[in-house]
Amino acid sequence: MTFSFLPVRGLLLLVWLVAPSSALAQEPSRLMRPGQLDVHAEGGLSFIPPSFEAGASTEVGVVGLGPGTLSVGAQLGLRQCLLACSLSGVLALERVSTRDVHVLGRLGYHFTWPGKSQGKVDLQGALLGGVMEARILRDAPEFRYEGRGRGLAFGLAVGGNYFLSSRFFVGCEARLRFASGLYALSLTRGSYAFTQEDRQWVRLGLGTVFSAGVRLF
């Protein structure tokens, strides 16, 4: 009685070919799950107006919703205007500096693409809402004044995180924000009659923020 090894060899070859793809399919997804907490340190640039931004944020998964996870969180940020904060001020030989501090809540939705990326990438979109404090310094040859005021802020964010390991990741997020309010102004040099236009402030921010973070649990 003869026994052929060809079927056995064929079976072993099939297992060898399928094993890598099976291991990849079993790689754990980095999609945020309910109860998981992410903490980020952030820095980036805003294009409208040209400014630098730094801050921190945190987010926790709340409940699974469809193929993704609903999350809540908060972010704290500081935005400092760069170079020409006011074109009219430059033309009038004035120095105008603006700085904003914001505290915003986040309502996000995390998802991931099926396939190879799910083991490395966590994508998300978020609604933002909270409070912004705006500050201004205007220094002209004839006068100098400072002001600050608070107002409600709203925004949208879209981005994602790329995991370098099971816990540590880097991320990028595009943000659009809007806030408005009134300054409380104080004259520190010279004489100047404040107008309603001077007191009213509006912030429309569009920029990109880069982050490094850790998934605590």
Strands, E assignment, the chain: 37-48, 51-65, 68-81, 95-111, 121-139, 143-163, 168-182, 184-190, 200-215
**Measured in whole angstroms, how far is the alpha carbon of residue 83 from the centre of its chain?**
23
Residues (pLDDT < 70) of the chain are 1-27, 83-92, 115-118
For residues 62, 63, 66, 70, the Cα torsion angle rounded to the nearest 10 degrees is -20
Largest CA distance in the chain: 113
pLDDT at 15: 40
Q: Could you read off the pLDDT of 147-196 as tens digits, one per residue?
A: 999 999 999 999 999 999 989 999 999 999 999 999 999 999 999 999 99
pLDDT at 116: 60
**Measured in whole angstroms, how far is the alpha carbon of residue 51 from the centre of its chain?**
15
Q: What is the pTM of this model?
A: 0.79
Q: Choose among 209, 120, 192: nearest CA to 161.
A: 120
Q: Choose among 210, 174, 158, 170: nearest CA to 43.
A: 210
Tokens standing for 23? 């291991």
Q: Is 66 left (phi over 0), alpha (psi -120 to 50) or beta?
A: left
